[in-house]
A and B are shown apart, each in its own frame.
Chain A
């Protein structure tokens, strides 16, 4: 990933003032109206991604990671979804204040998305060549013939064998890994500034997972794109991400550069997640599991949402919602990029 910056930065990325992130999500709140009440899916999420950077958003089902991504993309179902407050700045402009047409022009061209299940996410009755070519036809006004040629080029780019022969095939005629490559090709088509990958490898088997992740990382470096990688798989993250944001009950509970988080988590939830990975050097021991269930979003526990499941919870944790604190090292110096939303971050980090 460090080699990414040496590669050709896109013209668009260069125009961005130094220090301005590509995407900046600020205090985003999203709710869903349901029959049983209002589900607070996202409760004040902040994160940013720079060009060429990979942010991994980690969390279990229902933690709000996908909802945040869908809100950025503008594909949230509204209603029942509702953005109650917050800003999503893309290149310094708030996308939530843009017209539908302005947002549509950003979608696909500037920000693209890769979905989890490529079989259901690709249209079953249109050939993959048509679906890839559509990007060029709609956004660049390419002719049918040009679009087809570019679709073949893209399929070659994501290393689909015999692309020219397979361009007219339909999604069901491809294997799972090949389908996900087509999804990636579709997202890459217009060389967007930012790609949001929502669990891109979850539906794939392990060997194919690695291939797809490698391909994604390689192409990201080549085009110098920002990447938001949404996943619940800690193993996938370690190799490709630059920084990690851990989400729980619609909030970010910890952010850190990837290796620091693995080495020394500053939040009990992250700690629990890391301990629940099977390890070769702990063979024969019981695998750790975070006890309890993910919180009900209709009734988030008072105080820290994680407190009912936390071994270290105190009375303070049950009454006061912890802010996302800057994490300091033992000598009191700031650790760059490290934040934790735990009242007891010091104890968690320094033991």
Chain B
């Protein structure tokens, strides 16, 4: 197990380097000049422009800029945004917001998804199961922006339960509606995965043994059935936590949540190389960590899987 973790951590290094490199050069391929854009509609003063570029090292050859960026990155310096704020400040401002949003969505999708899937699987072919299949299919087929606007319309404009957009991005109560929208798609997948897994495992021989042992129903289901059925669901959940954090762009846009998606959207629009790279680097780290945790959890859930 220790060797497996060590190997996985080492594997993260090339993945990390590759992502940083790709993002850095991709941002530079984008058309337009971010520095010139700072003047807006006003005429650009070439002398000032050159001075600014020189101060930021933007007049250097691209490869030199890249090496400088990497060098700073390894010292924990994410560089500076065009407006002069250190990128690390933006990251530390936006990530806690998105992390809250993503974790809230994650919790909703696990609790609701697994519960719905469990009952649908146990009552396979009955009305609840059929209803679940139809509703989850509906959720999967509606694009997130559409769902976001529908929810916004119903819960704020019509019912007036919440403000249409989030006022305080750190307030969990206000983040609830965006979290439901964000988690709804995955919730549908989790419910369906759980349902199928439960319906399949309930016919297993060890379930018959558990009943024959005289175990009460909640133990038969809670210990013997659920444990086995969670293996495929956990795999999905692991990759999903990363996807939720990166995929919050649309939801954050609709509900005006000042998180990673919001910052990334603006940074890409303004072609802010340092900011985009910085955010993506952290996202990549989150993603890698999440997938490592899933792989380890996998071995805990299923002892037949051994890592060496």
CB contacts between A and B, total, < 8 Å: 75
Partner of B209, one of A105, A106, A123: A123
Is A109 located at the chain interface by the 8 A CB criterion? yes
Q: Which residue of B lies closest to A100 (CB)?
A: B217
A70 (CB) vs chain B CBs: closest residue: B208
List 20 A-B residue pairs with CB atoms under 8 Å apart, sorted by A's residue number: A74-B211, A75-B208, A75-B211, A104-B214, A107-B213, A107-B214, A108-B215, A109-B214, A112-B213, A115-B205, A115-B209, A121-B209, A122-B206, A122-B209, A123-B206, A124-B303, A126-B224, A134-B219, A138-B213, A139-B214
Q: Is the CB of B303 within 8 A of A113?
A: no
Q: Which of A75, A126, A170 makes the CB contact (< 8 A) with B212?
A: A75
> From residue B126, how far is it (CB to closest CB) to chain A in Å?
12
Residue-wise interface mask of A (120-150) relative to B, using a CB-CB cutoff of 8 A (1 in contact, 0 not): 1111111100000011001100000000000
CA separation between A105 and B213, bound complex, in Å? 9
Q: For the complex, what is the distance from the CA of A75 to the CA of B202, rounded to whole Å?
A: 13
**In the complex, A29 Cα to B149 Cα: how many Å?**
60
Closest Cβ–Cβ distance, residue A154 to chain B (whole Å): 13
Residue among B204, B206, B219 having the largest count of chain A Cβ atoms under 10 Å: B206
User: B223 contacts the other chain (Cβ, under 8 Å)?
Assistant: yes
Given contacts A120-B205, A125-B303, contact A186 B213 (CB under 8 A): yes
Whether B213 pairs with A134 at a CB distance below 8 angstroms is yes
Whether A106 contacts B204 in the complex (CB less than 8 A), given A124-B228, A170-B304, comes out as no
Which residues on B sit within 8 Å (CB–CB) of A106? 214
Of chain A, the residue at the smallest CB distance from B211 is A75
Encode contact with B along A40-74: 1 for CB under 8 Å, 0 otherwise.
00000000000000000000000000000000011
**B14 contact set on A, CB distance < 8 A:** none
Which A residues contact B (CB, under 8 angstroms)?
A: 73-75, 104-109, 112-113, 115, 117, 120-127, 134-135, 138-139, 170, 172, 186
Contact with A along B209-253 (1 / 0, CB 8 A): 111111110010001100110000000000000000000000000
Within the assembled complex, what's the spacing in Å between the Cα atoms of A121 and B206?
4
Is there an interface contact between A121 and B304, defined as CB atoms closer than 8 Å?
A: no
Q: A105–B216 Cα gap in the complex (Å)?
A: 9
| Chain B residues positioned under 8 Å from A172 (CB to CB) | 303-304
Highest count of chain A CB atoms <10 Å: which of B219, B228, B303: B303
Given the known inter-chain contacts A120-B204, A120-B206, A123-B206, please indicate yes or no for A73 contacting B303, CB distance below 8 A: no
Q: Mark B73-100, 1 if CB is under 8 A from A, else 0.
A: 0000000000000000000000000000
Tell me the residues in window 269-308 of chain B with beta carbons closer than 8 Å to chain A beta carbons: 301-304
What's the Cα separation between A269 and B173 when bound, in Å? 75
Partner of A115, one of B208, B216, B224: B208
A166 to chain B, nearest CB (A): 13
**Chain A residues in 8 Å Cβ range of B210:** 123
Quick one: which of A113, A121, A139 has the most chain B CB within 10 A? Answer: A121
| New A-B contacts (15) at CB < 8 Å, excluding given A115-B209, A121-B208 | A73-B212, A75-B208, A107-B211, A107-B212, A108-B214, A108-B215, A112-B212, A120-B204, A123-B206, A124-B302, A134-B215, A134-B223, A138-B215, A170-B304, A172-B304
Of all A-B residue pairs in the complex, the 4 with the closest CB atoms, nearest first, are A108-B214, A107-B214, A120-B205, A123-B206
Q: Do B219 and A124 touch (CB < 8 A)?
A: no
Least CB distance, B197 to chain A, in whole angstroms:
13
- Shortest CB–CB separation between residue A191 and chain B, in angstroms? 14
- Measured between beta carbons, the chain A residues less than 8 angstroms from B228 are 123-125
Cβ–Cβ < 8 Å partners of A135 in chain B = 213
Q: How many angstroms from the CA of A120 to the CA of B203 in the assembled complex?
A: 11
Contacts of A121 in B (CB 8 A): 205-206, 208-209
A105 touching B214 by the CB < 8 A rule? Answer: yes
Q: Specify which chain A residues have a CB less than 8 angstroms from the CB of B227 in the assembled complex.
A: 123, 125-126
> A104 to B216, Cβ gap below 8 A?
yes
Partner pick for B205 among A104, A117, A126, A170, CB 8 A cutoff: A117
- Assembly CA distance A108 to B213 (angstroms): 4
Contacts of A109 in B (CB 8 A): 214
Question: How many angstroms between the C-alpha atoms of A120 and B227 in the bound complex?
Answer: 15
* Residue in A74, A113, A125 whose CB lies within 8 Å of B302: A125
CB contacts (< 8 Å) of A75 on chain B: these are: 208, 211-212
Contacts of A138 in B (CB 8 A): 213-216, 219
By beta carbon, the residue of chain A nearest B208 is: A75
Chain A residues positioned under 8 Å from B214 (CB to CB): 104-109, 138-139
When C-beta atoms are compared, the residue in chain A nearest to B205 turns out to be A120
